Structure 1
Amino acid sequence: DETCAFAVNRWFAEDKPPNLTSQVLVPGDAAAAESLCGYKIVAHTSDVRGAGTDANVTLALVGEDEDGNRVAMGPFPIETSADDFKRGAVDTFRAEGPFMKKIVSATVAHDGAGFFGGSDWHLKMLEVTKDASGSGAAPKVTFWCDALVTKDTPMTLTASDGAPKPANDRRRYKVTTRTSADRGSGTDANVFVEIFGERGSTGRRPLDTSADNFARGATDVFVFESPFLGEIQSVKIGHDNSGFGPAWKLDEVLVEDTTADLEAPEWHRSRAFRADAWLDASKAPFATELELTPSDGVFSQRAKVEMTDYTVTVRTSDLPDAGTDASVSIELVGSEGATGWTKLGSSGHTFRKGAADEIQIAGADVGVVERVSLKHDGTGRRGKWNLASLDVRHDGTGAVSKFSCGKWLKNENGVVAETTLEAAAGSGETTTFNYRVDVTTGSRMGAGTDSKVTIGIHCEGMAKAWFPALEQRDDHFESGATDTFVFSRPDELPGKITAVTLTCADAGVFGDSWFCEKVVVSSLAKGTEWVFHCGDWVGKQGTRLEQGILASVSVEDEAKAAEAASKAAGNAGAGADAAA
């Protein structure tokens, strides 16, 4: 048998050099022990959210000796206390091992253990220096990382030629995202981005500064460091589909190199990326991540597709087996373009025999809807469907287009059932006056309600308030949400809106009242918009909101106001006492 001796002759104690309770030993006699080299290791944890870890971290070094032979050291644990590797911290460790004239690489790993077991570690960089007492002492060697080190996945870093990388090799990139203002566009999923350039990529970076990131209509800004990318060529952005509302509609992304010289080319300093797309597995383009290429023009100054809501009323025939539980999609075509395919109803929605289903969808504003196309995938227990008719109401203008069908849609020989319907004569005409009511629920704890809410609109020239029928769903009036309702009247309101009355029926499961932030009433025909601020709890006793703010005025009303002001000024005369 071969015997291998390890000379030690050193302290295993935190208070005596080399201040370690765990050390790497190499075979040899006492003389070999005297030739061991001391190493100082400095770990820089990144200053980003969730960067720290309390896992057990190990390090392995690889280098060359005097003769150019490969020398390896470790892996060995690096740890001094439970407070190591906190966010933004700089931790120093010491170790002894074989002498290396040149340190080539460092491999870091961790086991994901600890109180928050499995947490990743975002390492900014490592610095390794040989003790001056060791023969052939060398300058500090820097290993740049700036990435997540995940559980049980070692990461090998390459030394930068025995010296730290020049500062100008590191850049600070600012990423600005703009979430669409369309209803339901915000997300509470975990969002990431990866920037690609002519010199490489940043790797996948989490975008997270607060719980309110990526709210509807919000602009969020994130900054992180990365090796210089050169020309910014593309970005990949997406989310993990987590949370209660993961679907996200992204308008655009702006990437800026904040450390670039002013003389640098524009494509080195800033690049805008147009998205205007849903990141949602259930909506086109049916993906939770997108890769975007640079757009022409300046961020936020490019023309956007105007969006609007449509209410589709689907009437299924009362013939035997006319209903279906297949997935149905619709495309609207009008004078201004097409919406593209959109699913009708939520997942698992059933179109029952003889039933009329009213479904609201969002899409590009196509003007007057002249044609619709329908298809279904034939899935479910009832794969065929007999559609009697459908109506499409443009919620922005109130125009209603009517379509007759009266035929079966069924898949045959693997071909998807699809049909195109033309609007009936006289469709698209607006014969009613439409009003939109936007109700914003407060964001404080317990603000939402599932109780029955009623809204009364008071107007000049009307003895009684108008109480439009509110078709309330389970997801209406949730905390921090804005709900939109469109109502039609055969006649126009005779005067300006003077007050709004709110009541909450106190029959909800999660509370006996509702906190309303504000109510906005708009005349879609005239373009006027009245804002009534509430900022209070509403119960069954009711709340009356007065002193509404006229946020927007129609052209007709502006002309009347200007004429009245001109007459008033003329009556007062042109002297110093004239009305101003």
Structure 2
Amino acid sequence: MNLKLTIKTGSETNSGTDADVSIVIHGSLLKTSEKSLNEHQNRNVFEKDSVDTFLIDTENIGEIEKIEIWHNNKWLGADWLLEHCAIENLDSGKSYFFPINKWIKGNSQYEFEPVNLINYNFEITTGTLPGAGSNSNLFISIIGSKNYTTFFNVKPFLKNKDFITGHTEILTIQNEDVGNIKELKIRTDSSGFNSNLFLARVKIKKENELVGKTFPIFDWIKPDQTYTANFNNVEYSIQISTGDVLEGGTDANVSMIIHGTKGKSDIIKLNELIARNAFEAGKIDHFKIATKDLGEINKINIWHDEKWFGDGWFLNKIIVKNESTKIEAEFPYYSWLDKSENPQSTNIELTRMPVQPRPFYSIAHMLNTPAYVEEALEMGTNAFEFDVMPKLVDKNNFHFDAFHGFRPDVDPDKINLMERSVARTDLKYFLNKLKEFEEKFPKLTLVIYDCKLKEVPKNKLNQCGTQLAKTILENFYNSNTKNRIFSIISIPQKNHVSFLDGFFKEIPADFKNYIGTDLSEENFQTAERVFEKRKEMNFWWGSGIASMVPKPLKSYIPSFLIAAKKRTERGIIKKLYYWTLDDPDSMARMLVTKLDGIVVNDPLKLLRVLQKEEFRHTYRLATRDNNPFSVF
């Protein structure tokens, strides 16, 4: 009777032994004589994690019923971790399997009986991430309702002998029947040059089953770590959209926790699950995870370590999809995770509540004739700016024109701003046409009066303001306070505030809710100090640089981020706007500061930028129902 005996030594530290091991095999008819397994071996046997095979020639002992095994405790540290034994009758082809997983101590004999073996059919899928494959050993333990198997190495059964990135390995392994399969324990070792293995899924089917069980994993299996794959785990697909804005991407390490009605996930280290350079501006990253069933997804915590200086990240949104139910949960953000904006903003909590879009003013620039105004309103803009040029015609009276004065400023798209700059309209006529436009264009919400006061004598500023107020009341408002557009009276500097004193002294209380003011050439701190002392409450602040000058936005963006924070915290200044921009990239860069309006030469450019994914959820054109003198 020819028998092949296979012995697997455990893989724990000091599992092997140098002692002399002996065995007796008991059959239904006879038992073998004592067999010393160390004799006639020209190599070390029973080393840690080794598989040793022995051929035994004996008389017919019948069906194998049990084995006795022991060692003589020779040498220091002789205790031996015996994982399993297998015996194959080479004459009949029948096999017997003995799961053991027990420390064999010296001078004690141990008896073990074989278990019934069944075939397990495996489909092991390696992920598609770069470096996902491995040539190390992979050990699996099957845990079932009745029992569990000891860890067995699946690598010897691979057709390709290695786990190849993106491949599915199909193999069959015999082991004991553990009943209804509940989970898998999986680990690898450091035997190969690439020890880490990224597993996507393991499907296992017992020989007597019609349908197997799939265990989603989507994780790295690393040496010295045991991964538990539970059959009840759920596969989730995740999309993370990074904003298509300048420097919107990040090289920082990003992590997240997903919350649901049934619990929360462990910390998910996203950079380990994405195949390429993650979180690039304008890109969408896709990956999958496997975790317990979280129920209805309702919240996400996400953060990054800002590993490098300036590693802010503009996150558009996150979509989480349960691949079992096909239900998606969308988490919009459309903002920065960036310490320069807010020290706490690199660690945020997202809910499924929709983003409340900020009412926004697309302010067409330097429209000093009714024709230019009508053209911009037909484009769809909801606000415009025109220039008020006072002229002292005698010592007590001012005449007002809508007029800027010559500027050599030509837009790249051939809008001739030089012609626009020299256009002139009598203000009374202009305001009467404005009444018509107010009725004709319901989207028109706000007008900025850019008052050119540098030629007005200081002792005449108050008088000038009073006369402008009278002109506006008589030619535009006409005592009608129903559904009117809002007005901003913009003055250049703090030494012109007596103009505002004269202006608001003339404005009736019913109209003061429609009119605000702005200091356009002072920094935010100065404007706040000036406005804090005034009785009016409707304050805006604008800053920028003429579009004909190269735009050093890097110096303006930080100041607007600071101003936006103070606007929200202090509430003295209600709205922020930038002047003046021509190119869409610059518009996008300023929009991420959460300002309230931008002055543009071509409204269509700005309106197109506002429709980008990064902004159409966070901004909408303001209407007359939106109060421009409250903080959003």
- Normalising by the smaller structure, the TM-score range is 0.3 to 0.5
Structure with larger Rg: 2
Higher strand share: 1
TM-score scaled by structure 1? 0.35
TM-score scaled by structure 2? 0.33
